[in-house]
């Protein structure tokens, strides 16, 4: 079968039982994360898609918005060697890549003891990655791009599947551009809107109790990285796309570029693995328009997010009207209850007869704007 045949046919036939089983269990992982983390469904989906595709992902957001907790809980449900670290400008290579082997060094050879360190891990989470020094960043570049770690004169093949990183803000330093570019998708994790407050408290208390009682430690893996690797080895057979879908993808790419959002040919091709992975997680033999949600997360700076939403949003909305089960953003039935409660609180404050300060009025106006944005 030629590439053109694959594109025109756009489907791979029935998916075998092993792939369906893995997709089902990845969906179970997603549901478990959704149950724990409020209003993070699209972020959860991106984590799963990125992992299955064997790519890397950057999460941007202020402290306390579940960036590290999400990846940590994902790692607990995947049977894989996991490494995480919080970086500062004082972090040294030894802390990530392992200490120097003193015995070998005395014999004139520079090697690191990498057991249980980043070069020996399959899933990695690095918090505040852009605070790394140049020595760490240079080593990470080859690990992310080539899956190779250079130690002394040795070049070691690393078993890394996916590296997830977090930062409080997108760097504007050109020196960090190379490492930023290695993350195929970028997404935000923000503080929740006011109408989510009660749900946030409820789930937060459940999470604290689970941590105090050790229930988190009893979480068992639902999938193994060996299964994911096995599917990745077959990924070529799933990279088949309907002709009309590919035509729409081409249109999106050139529209995105025309709006000033840089998207290299390399990323355009690599994104196809994410689309295919999204379909496989759902147990679908082919991609559909709902998979284009990934294009909302190819921005290079947060001010481009609205541009991407304007480009991709109408197609996603049309798809979700016919397939509401695919919607991972927007207002749920539970959210509507929270919004109604919040509106009643706002009404009571504004009509309560008390004199309100400018700060109090502005706060309620901001709450109303959040509700309006959520309902749009």
Chain centre to alpha carbon of residue 205: 25
What mean pLDDT, rounded, does the chain reach?
89
Residue 331 has pLDDT above 70, yes or no: no
Taking only the tens place, the pLDDT of each residue in 103-140 is 988 988 888 999 999 999 999 999 999 999 999 999 99
**Residue of 334 and 150 predicted with greater confidence:** 150
Q: What is the pLDDT of residue 3?
A: 46
- Which has the minimum average pLDDT: 51-55, 332-336, 342-346? 332-336
Residue 9 has pLDDT above 60, yes or no: no
pLDDT band at 1 (very low <50, low <70, confident <90, very high): very low
- Average pLDDT (162-173) is 94
Cβ 159 vs Cβ 122: under 8 Å = yes
| CA distance linking residue 238 with residue 272, whole number of Å | 10
Architecture of domain 1-80+161-329: 3-Layer(aba) Sandwich (3.40)
Q: 146-153 — which CB contacts under 8 Å span 24+ positions?
A: 149/97, 149/114, 149/119, 151/97, 151/110, 151/111, 151/112, 151/114, 151/119, 152/109, 152/110, 152/111, 153/110
**Residue of 79 and 372 predicted with greater confidence:** 79
Residue with tokens 């918005």: 65
Cβ 118 vs Cβ 93: under 8 Å = no
Q: What is the pLDDT of residue 254?
A: 97
Residue 344 has pLDDT above 60, yes or no: yes
- Average pLDDT (207-213) is 82
| CA distance linking residue 180 with residue 177, whole number of Å | 5
Q: What is the pLDDT of residue 375?
A: 63
| CA distance linking residue 363 with residue 258, whole number of Å | 38
- Average pLDDT (58-87) is 96
User: What is the domain partition of the chain in residue ranges?
Assistant: 1-80+161-329, 333-375
At 87, list the tokens: 């970086």
Q: What is the pLDDT of residue 108?
A: 86
pLDDT band at 2 (very low <50, low <70, confident <90, very high): very low
Taking only the tens place, the pLDDT of each residue in 249-267 is 999 999 999 999 999 999 9
Buried residues in 133-160 as b, exposed as e (16+ CB within 10 A): eeebbebbeebbeeebbebeeeebebeb
DSSP 106-121: HTT---B--TTSGGG-
């Amino acid at each position: 079968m030629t590439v053109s045949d694959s594109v025109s046919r756009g489907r791979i036939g029935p998916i075998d039982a092993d792939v369906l089983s893995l997709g089902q269990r990845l969906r179970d992982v997603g549901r478990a994360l959704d149950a724990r983390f409020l209003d993070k469904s699209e972020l959860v989906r991106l984590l799963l898609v990125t992992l299955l595709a064997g790519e890397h992902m950057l999460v941007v957001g202020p402290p306390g918005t579940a960036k590290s907790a999400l990846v940590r809980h994902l790692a607990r449900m995947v049977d894989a060697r996991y490494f995480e670290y919080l970086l500062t400008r004082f972090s040294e290579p030894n802390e990530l890549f392992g200490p120097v082997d003193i015995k070998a060094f005395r014999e004139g050879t520079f090697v690191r003891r990498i057991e249980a360190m980043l070069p020996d891990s399959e899933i990695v989470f690095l918090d505040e990655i852009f605070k790394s020094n140049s020595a760490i960043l240079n080593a990470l570049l080859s690990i992310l791009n080539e899956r190779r770690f250079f130690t002394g004169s040795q070049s070691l093949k690393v078993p890394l599947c996916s590296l997830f990183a977090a930062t409080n803000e997108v760097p504007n330093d050109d020196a960090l551009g190379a490492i930023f570019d290695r993350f195929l998708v970028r997404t935000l994790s923000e503080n929740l809107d006011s109408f989510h407050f009660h749900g946030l408290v409820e789930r937060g208390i459940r999470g604290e109790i689970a941590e105090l009682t050790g229930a988190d430690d009893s979480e068992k893996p639902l999938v193994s990285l060996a299964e994911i690797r096995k599917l990745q080895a077959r990924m070529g057979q799933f990279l088949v796309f309907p002709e009309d879908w590919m035509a729409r993808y081409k249109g999106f790419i050139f529209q995105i570029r025309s709006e000033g959002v840089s998207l290299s040919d390399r990323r355009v091709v690599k994104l196809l693995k994410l689309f295919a992975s999204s379909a496989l997680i759902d147990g679908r033999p082919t991609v559909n328009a709902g998979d284009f949600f990934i294009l909302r997360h190819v921005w290079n700076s947060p001010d481009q997010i609205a541009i991407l939403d304007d480009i991709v949003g109408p197609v996603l909305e049309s798809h979700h009207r016919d397939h509401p089960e695919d919607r991972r953003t927007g207002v749920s039935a539970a959210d509507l209850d929270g919004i109604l409660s919040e509106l009643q609180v706002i009404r009571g404050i504004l009509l309560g007869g008390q004199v309100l300060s400018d700060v109090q009025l502005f706060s309620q106006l901001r709450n109303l704007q959040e509700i309006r944005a959520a309902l749009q």
